[in-house]
Amino acid sequence: MLEKESNPTHSKSTGLPRKRFYRARAHSNPLSDSHFPVPVSPSHVDFSLHYPQFFPSSSEVSCSKKIQFADIGCGFGGLLISLSTLFPETLMIGMELRDKVTEYVKERILALRGSNPGQYQNVSVVRTNSMKYIPNYFEKGQLTKMFFLFPDPHFKEKNHRRRVISLHLLDEYAYVLGVGGIIYTITDVEELGDWMKSCLESHPMFEALKKEELEADPVVKLLCSATEEGQKVARNGGQTFQAVFRRIVPTS
């Protein structure tokens, strides 16, 4: 219990970081040139920093495990934390553009690893602009699930190209998703919900999941309940709009 007192930004009772020390603006411009380091290619990513228990040292290449889930715009990381215990053997990563929020998730994961030995070793976070650098992190067909939960709606038509789901960006998501991989999107903005759904519907490499498939998928239930944004919407009694699609081989 002694070591916990040393960190003033963490809660004394739970050891978790406190959000009020990681305040950030709600939005970030995805078009601006970035100042953070970006790996040259997926093989340049050092996994020992992210998953020390799975990759004991950076020199060892014996572990063939690859990241399978990516939460794009993970925010404060609520979904990742829930998924981590649901799929303890699957490596997953959150990608977030806002540096303070990324710092919070990093601290949160470290704190959880400390208080629950052996758990939360499969989850990590990285600060990056996923709209620009997805191919720098993942190889072709590597991912099995991608999450786009409550993305920035960018209402103005002028700013629609900043939306994280667009017909052209779906090409890149289809590239990193393996065949059969699933893309989960949810929003509380009806206009954006329609937009994301229509983008996915008109893309030749995605097909919608059937109703019974949605009901059988335990992850779908988490979309609303696990994320901070989802909880907020539920508190205010708001509506959510989700689109869950599967990566398919295009028919040509």
- Binding footprint of another protein on the chain (CB under 8 A): 25, 31, 33-35, 40-42, 131-132, 135-136, 140, 161, 167-172, 174-175, 203-205, 250, 252
Q: Which amino acid is at 231?
A: Q
Which two tokens mark 21?
């020390």
3 is in an annotated binding site: no
State which residue, 20 or 25, has the beta carbon closest to another protein. 25
Known catalytic residues are 152
Residue 177, classed as helix, strand or coil, is strand
State which residue, 201 or 213, has the beta carbon closest to another protein. 201
State which residue, 34 or 239, has the beta carbon closest to another protein. 34
Q: Rounded distance, CA 227 to CA 230, Å? A: 5
97 is in an annotated binding site: yes
Q: Rounded distance, CA 174 to CA 86, Å? A: 25
Instruction: Confirm if 228 and 75 have CB atoms less than 8 A apart.
Output: yes
228 is in an annotated binding site: yes
139 is in an annotated binding site: no
Smallest distance from the beta carbon of 174 to another protein, in angstroms?
A: 7
Smallest distance from the beta carbon of 104 to another protein, in angstroms?
A: 18
The DSSP bridge pattern shows strands 91-96 and 67-72 to be: parallel
Which two tokens mark 195?
């937009």
State which residue, 30 or 153, has the beta carbon closest to another protein. 30
149 is in an annotated binding site: yes
Own/partner pairs for 78-81, CB < 8 Å, 24+ apart?
78/226, 78/227, 78/228, 78/230, 78/231, 79/147, 79/149, 79/222, 79/223, 79/226, 79/227, 80/105, 80/109, 80/123, 80/125, 81/108, 81/109, 81/112, 81/120, 81/123, 81/226
Which two tokens mark 213?
């498939």
Smallest distance from the beta carbon of 19 to another protein, in angstroms?
A: 17
State which residue, 88 or 250, has the beta carbon closest to another protein. 250
193 is in an annotated binding site: no
Q: How many helices (H) and strands (E) does the chain have?
A: 9, 7
Smallest distance from the beta carbon of 244 to another protein, in angstroms?
A: 19
Smallest distance from the beta carbon of 72 to another protein, in angstroms?
A: 13
Residue 56, classed as helix, strand or coil, is coil
Q: Which residues are annotated as a binding site?
A: 73, 96-97, 129-130, 149, 227-229
Q: Which residues are annotated as a binding site for S-adenosyl-L-methionine?
A: 73, 96-97, 129-130, 149, 227-229
